[in-house]
Structure 1
Amino acid sequence: MRKFKGLIITFLVLCLFSQANISAKAISSECGILVEQVTGRVLFEKCADQQKYIASITKIMTAIIAVEEGDLDGWVEISENATLQVGSSLYLKQGDKVKLIDLIYGLMLRSGNDSAMAIAEEIGGSEEEFVKMMNEKAKELGMTNSVFQNPSGLDETTYNLSTAADMAKVMRYAMNHPVFREVVGTKVHKTQSEGGVPYVWQNKHKLVTGYYEYAIGGKTGFTKQARRTLVTSAQKDGLELVVVTLTAGDDWNDHMSLFNMGFDNYELKTVIPAGFLNVDPTVSDSKLFIKQDAIVAVKKDGSETVSTELKLSQDNTTDNEVGTLIVKINDEVMDEIPVYQQVELKDDQPRGWFQWLFGWLMGDGDTQ
């Protein structure tokens, strides 16, 4: 009888885990991904590398380039070409001027295609040159399956193709910029043009405006070819996650389901803090250190094994880099962090201010 009860309990536990996994995998979207913000660890994916039309989530790329390259407080004159863009619009007036930062708000909150074109013409000089900047940034970010042809996401004459995995990369990158982060987390933005035209833009992203309490930013998208596309960032208890869905049916619930699975099952852990490493003298008699924390996103239930491996190079590179600290989960490489060697100065060699400051911060004895 006890054995029978044990089998029943085991079966029930397995059913509970199966239901949790099924609820996460049975998303309505054709493709999707759940990624941890800091480490980039993929916690869930469904055809995440399949190229698709992406509609207005294109504007994440447009916005981050504008934030990085433009004069945010500068006035941008609205061209006739910008006012002729079809689809979602801020109804900007030809010849009027709007500050770049306000155009970015309109771009991300209301998905203004006229704003996208105005930004492209201001930052790139033309749409064509701005598109080149978009593709260069995509290459820089490792978005190997992405092709951009316009700054808005319209796909009637030109189009943009990407994947859930690639769009998660650009969202993670963009969320590290405080201005972008502020913009996409805003519920309502009010401004006026140089000509005195007032604008009030409410965020279209329902999860950000109150539908999901942990949502902190994102971008919506829709065209007939792309169908519904959605990118969202959410944060809870120090864990920040990104969800991307493409060709979706019920994307709001898809995102909440994936976020809840991530928050329920994962947490961030610091494996080794930034600073000096505890290295066996037989491995290296130099003082080695890392400049950043070694962090991993791991399951809360303790079922995953985290390990580190120090690999030293014989050929010293620039900045006293001497090797790599490899961080693994269950023998799968999660991160590779540069390892540096402290420069030992001779007694008669004066310390520069940087060496003095570094020594003081690290508590390295005499800093005189």
Structure 2
Amino acid sequence: MRHYMRFMNFLLTLTLIFSLGSPLWEVKAITNPPETTAESVLILDVESGEVIYEKNATTKHMIASTTKVMTAILAYENLEMDKVITIGPNPPYAQGSSMGFKEGEEVMVVDLLYALILHSANDAAEALAEAVDGTMEKFAERMTKKAHDIGAVDTVFHNPSGLSDSDDLENNNYTTAKDLSLIMAEVLKYDELVELGQKKSHMLPLTNLVADTNRWATNKNQMLYQNSKFYYEPIIFGKTGWTPEAGFSWTALAEKDGRKLAVSMLKAVNQDTYWLESRSLLEWAFQETEVHKLYTRGQLLENAVLSNGETVPLYAKDDFYYVTAPLERPMPVIDFQGLEISQNYNAGETVHVAKVTLDQEVIGDIELVCEENIHLIASEGEESPEGEAIESKSSFFSHPFVRVVSILLFSIILIVSLLFILGLVLRKRRRRVRSRKMSNKRMQYLKQLEETRR
């Protein structure tokens, strides 16, 4: 079942990769977005992959414990929730936040995930990493590959917890606000993880080594608590982060009226500030922006005319979205200027990149692809894609005039043939009629002869 979910979720991943690979076009909203003090910020519309707001969104920063979002995703993808993990010798010595797991202690994956996401336990992060790949180094490689696979190409992981031991960016976990939002959007593919992140607290069951102490994992996301001044009802998942070197980081998911947004802040002033600012930004995004799908993947956009007079349909490679103020109904126009097919293309290849304009302003690019192979006739002396020389005479019958004349000649021949066959049929029929008349006359003659003899 989980493999099936991964396959079905691949489409959503592709959508996010292609959408965020495009320029961050300006959003036209009724009001300006609230000011933010974090160095890097991004709000992502998860379904469309459209950027709603960004501030230095591609600047690289260390990310501290927001690292654990990727750790949770990979642990969930590769381990069964009820699997029992035996804690190795390394996790108990993890620095920073910890649940106090002991070497040889037997803990279920689900409890390690609660400790990881709610309590931000570094020992849980290391235990999960070793359970998946044996070592933290191999798990970090898996983390980086997963990030790149979903389009977070400016992200590198060196450990599963986000701990840093120097100010050197390259030797620590780093990402961008844009990439971190992409990673956070992956969480939405797994309902169980989302539900886990919504719990306020979780008491770990007693284990083989801890039989007399209750250990609680408490959610550090203050935006979930109704009695908190930071409470925001649409928040459904969040992860905090801080180290002296990375500063404060934060990423979260919010849902309102079926619309889902991801927000990420790096190098924020402090926790209070990023909670208040993310709440203001998310509310602005929900209230003052709307995402429109202007073109749909596979939609016919243009019929291109080849040099031989044939037409080739071209289709949208991907969905094209645009963000406006609420209730606006944009009427875009595609500029096909420069569209000329002068080479061969295989099915699915991009034939042309057109400009999408709105009110005479370019709002983005859209790729046009062909669904079938396009093979132009090579001129004399040139070679076909298969490497065989094609003479210019071979193009004679592809000329439109020659085709029309050929059709007319074929029609004339067909009509003459039908007339000839019809003539034969009529001629045969006349012979039968004549034969009957002669037979009747002969019979009358024979009757008269018989009567004369009597």
TM class, shorter-length = 0.7 to 0.9
> Which structure is higher in strand share?
1
Q: 1:322 to 1:203 in 2, by over 3 A?
A: same
Work out whether residues 96 and 193 of structure 1, in 8 Å CA contact, stay in contact via their aligned partners in 2: no
For 2:195 and 2:369, how far apart are their aligned partners in 1? 31
| Counterpart residue number, 2:378 | none
Structure 1: runs of 5 or more not aligned: 1-16, 342-368
Q: 1:282 to 1:84 in 2, by over 3 A?
A: closer
Deviations 1:325-350 (A, max 9, x none): 98957443477698868xxxxxxxxx
Quick check: 1:172 aligned with 2:203?
Answer: no
For 1:285 and 1:100, how far apart are their aligned partners in 2? 58
Work out whether residues 155 and 225 of structure 1, in 8 Å CA contact, stay in contact via their aligned partners in 2: yes
For 1:72 and 1:335, how far apart are their aligned partners in 2? 42
Q: 1:306 to 1:116 in 2, by over 3 A?
A: farther
Work out whether residues 42 and 55 of structure 2, in 8 Å CA contact, stay in contact via their aligned partners in 1: yes
| Counterpart residue number, 2:12 | none
Q: 1:202 to 1:144 in 2, by over 3 A?
A: same
Q: 1:218 to 1:305 in 2, by over 3 A?
A: farther
Letter in 2 for 1:144: V
Q: 1:19 to 1:238 in 2, by over 3 A?
A: closer
Find the residue that maps to 1:220 and give its secondary structure. Answer: strand
Q: 1:174 to 1:296 in 2, by over 3 A?
A: farther
Q: Pick from 102, 105, 110 the counterpart of residue 96 of structure 1.
A: 105
Work out whether residues 353 and 365 of structure 2, in 8 Å CA contact, stay in contact via their aligned partners in 1: no
Q: 1:279 to 1:149 in 2, by over 3 A?
A: closer
| Counterpart residue number, 1:332 | 363
Q: 1:193 to 1:267 in 2, by over 3 A?
A: farther
Deviations 1:298-334 (A, max 9, x none): 43152754467999995225xxx99999895744347
Q: Pick from 271, 283, 300 the counterpart of residue 326 of structure 2.
A: 300
Q: Which has the larger radius of gyration?
A: 2
| Counterpart residue number, 1:266 | 289
| Counterpart residue number, 2:225 | 209
Q: TM-score, normalised by structure 2?
A: 0.61
Q: 1:277 to 1:244 in 2, by over 3 A?
A: closer
| Counterpart residue number, 1:225 | 245
CA shift, 1:269, in A, is 3.8
For 1:178 and 1:325, how far apart are their aligned partners in 2? 37
For 2:240 and 2:366, how far apart are their aligned partners in 1? 31
For 1:323 and 1:223, how far apart are their aligned partners in 2? 48
For 1:340 and 1:121, how far apart are their aligned partners in 2? 46
Find the residue that maps to 2:225 and give its secondary structure. Answer: helix
Which stretch shows the higher mean deviation, 202-211 or 54-63?
202-211
Structure 2: runs of 5 or more not aligned: 1-27, 373-454
Q: TM-score, normalised by structure 1?
A: 0.74
| Counterpart residue number, 2:54 | 45
Work out whether residues 39 and 335 of structure 1, in 8 Å CA contact, stay in contact via their aligned partners in 2: no
| Percent of paired sites with the same residue | 29
Alignment of 1:43-122 (within 5 A): 43-122=52-131
Letter in 2 for 1:200: W
Find the residue that maps to 2:216 and give its secondary structure. Answer: strand
| Counterpart residue number, 1:347 | none
Which stretch shows the higher mean deviation, 86-95 or 281-290?
281-290
Count of residues paired in the alignment = 319
Deviations 1:141-195 (A, max 9, x none): 2222222111101102662111111111111123223233222233233341542
For 1:101 and 1:324, how far apart are their aligned partners in 2? 49
Letter in 1 for 2:243: T
